[in-house]
Amino acid sequence: MTQGLDQIFVTLQHWAVSHSPAAVQPAVSILLPVVGILIAFPALFAITTVLERKGLARIQNRYGPNRVGPFGLLQPMADAVKSLTKEDLVPRSADKLVHFLAPLLLVAAVFVEYAVVPVGRNMVLADMDCGVLFFFAAGAATEMSVFMAGWSSRNKYSLLGAMRAVAQMISYEAPLILSSIAVVMAAGSLSTVTIVEKQAGYSGFWPHWYVLTPWGLAGFVLFMIAATAESNRSPFDLPEGESEIIAGYLTEYSGFKFALFFLGEYLGMFAISALGITLFLGGWAAPFSFLTWVPSWIWFFGKLLVLIAVFIWVRGTLPRLRMDQLMNFAWKFMLPMTLMVIFSAGLWRFLPSGVLRWLICAAPIALLYVVLGRVLQTDRKIEKRVYRYAE
């Protein structure tokens, strides 16, 4: 019974393939999971928008959307109708073709990322030999689309926002990839499926996830910080900081194209969280050995929802960074820390298991954290604020 529920989507796919004509069978077996991805994650996007608005509203001591449907739960429908019927404005001086291609490229690139994410047992579209690399390669296209959007709008705010976004995404890509490298090293594979398999198994009821090692914990925290920056979410939302540059590269987008950007950003956030789950949180595995009867895909989406809740919580809690703080944080703090995480992961591999291994592997990370905190603090002088006016 539980086995059947766990594999229900795989069984359905096999059933559909075996009942279709032989000529189209390969196409069907590929198209079905694609359609599944195209339905599941946009549906999650719709749920997340309403959850985010409700959650933020509660943090800010107000109600949030509560008019459409019971408790405002049908708000995404209203939003969809609104954005579809809005006028699609294109500035007269804009580069029409690039302006049109940018949102499409973003959404396409983000959907491609999902191809290597295992959402459940035997549920992955493409088990590639270098899946993690594929994910980051697809992510490279999102930077291009952001730049295209900002440049083609012919608007200073758009261009500034795009430059900020691209600089930020490049800077935080280094720690993001380096913290994944630690996991790749430990698992000995770039394939997402193999990485999940390596984390399967339990000691007693305790899982073998990488997040439960000292380097894995530090790596996971660094990964999620970099992921927040990569998906341009608060507190790293400088590219679209309303109080400074209106809406950054989104300024000249309206109607359906804006909705596409909105969709692309959220899907990017889900994708990168899904990669974090795959790398550090054991993918679709159950957190305790006595819970393995729950279907694997429920665990995956459960973990994803928890990470999304953390994203919303962070957004409601932290103020926006300044540009120089952002860059300093990436290059002076995140980068050395991730390098130390890689070193610690190497130590972990060659030491015999025990309490001592824990201490030895945690020590360099903690030491670097303290040292970096001290060093970065010293050149910060607190003095009376001087106001300068634009000339």
Partner 1 sequence: MTAPFVILAILAIAGATAAMTLRKLVHCALALAVCFVGLAGLYLNLNAQFVGLVQILVYVGAVVILIVFAILLTRHDELPAQTSRTRIAGLGVSALVFALLAWAVTAGGAKFGAAGTQPEAAIKDIGSALMQRYVLPLEVVGLLLTAALIGAVVIAMEEKKSK
For residue 301, what are its two tokens? 């989406």
CB of 104 to partner 1, least distance (A): 14
Give 47 or 166: the residue with its C-beta nearer to partner 1. Answer: 166
Contact indicator for 35, 41 with CB cutoff of 8 Å: no
Is 134 one of the binding residues for partner 1 (CB under 8 A)? yes
Residue pair 249/149 in contact by the 8 Å Cβ criterion: yes
Is 140 near partner 1 (CB under 8 A)?
yes
Its sign, for the CA torsion 132, 124, 186, 212, is positive
Cβ pair 169, 143 in contact under 8 A: yes
CB of 223 to partner 1, least distance (A): 17
157 binds partner 1 (CB under 8 A): no
In the bound state with partner 1, the residue whose beta carbon lies nearer, of 133 and 221, is 133
Q: Does 108 bind partner 1 (CB under 8 A)?
A: no
Strands 202-203 and 206-207: antiparallel
Establish if 327 lies at the interface with partner 1 (CB under 8 A).
Answer: no
206: enclosing H helix or E strand = strand 206-207
- Determine, following the binding rule CB under 8 A, whether residue 239 of this chain makes contact with partner 1: no
- Region near partner 1 per CB under 8 A, out of 141-149, 274-282, 300-308, 366-374: 141-149
> Residue 160 interacts with partner 1 (CB under 8 A)?
no
Q: Any contact of residue 173 with partner 1 (CB under 8 A)? A: yes
Please identify, among the stretches 19-27, 142-150, 203-211, 257-265, the one whose residues bind partner 1 according to the rule CB under 8 A: 142-150
Nearer to partner 1, 112 or 361 (CB): 112
* Shortest Cβ 148–partner 1 spacing (Å): 7
Partnered with residue 207 across adjacent β-strands are: 202
Which residues, other chains included, contact 349 with Cβ-Cβ below 8 Å and sequence gap of 6+? 185, 186
Closest CA to 139 of 161, 163, 168, 108: 108
339 binds partner 1 per the rule CB under 8 A: no
If binding is defined by CB under 8 A, does position 166 make contact with partner 1?
yes
| Interaction pattern, residues 183-222, with partner 1; x per rule: CB under 8 A | ------xx--------------------------------
CB of 133 to partner 1, least distance (A): 5
Distance of CA 163 to the CA centre of its chain: 21
Residue burial 35-60, b: 16+ Cβ < 10 Å; e: rest = ebbeebbbebbbebbbbbbbbbbeee
3-state class of 75 per DSSP?
helix
Interface with partner 1, residue 27, by CB under 8 A? no
Distance CA 144, CA 229 (A): 16
Question: Which residue, chain included where needed, has tokens 């201490």?
Answer: 359
Span of 52-60, 144-152, 342-350, 378-386 interacting with partner 1 by CB under 8 A: 144-152
Q: Percent helix, strand and coil across the chain, each rounded to 5?
A: 70, 0, 25
- DSSP conformation class of 285: -
Site for partner 1 contains 114 (CB under 8 A): no
151 contributes a contact to partner 1 by CB under 8 A: yes
Shortest spacing between CB 149 and partner 1, in angstroms: 12
Q: Which stretch binds partner 1 (CB under 8 A): 139-147, 201-209, 288-296, 351-359?
A: 139-147
Positive or negative, the CA dihedral 342, 343, 346, 351 is negative
Footprint of partner 1 on this chain (CB under 8 A)? 98, 128-130, 133-134, 136-141, 143-144, 147-148, 151, 159, 163, 166, 170, 173, 189-190
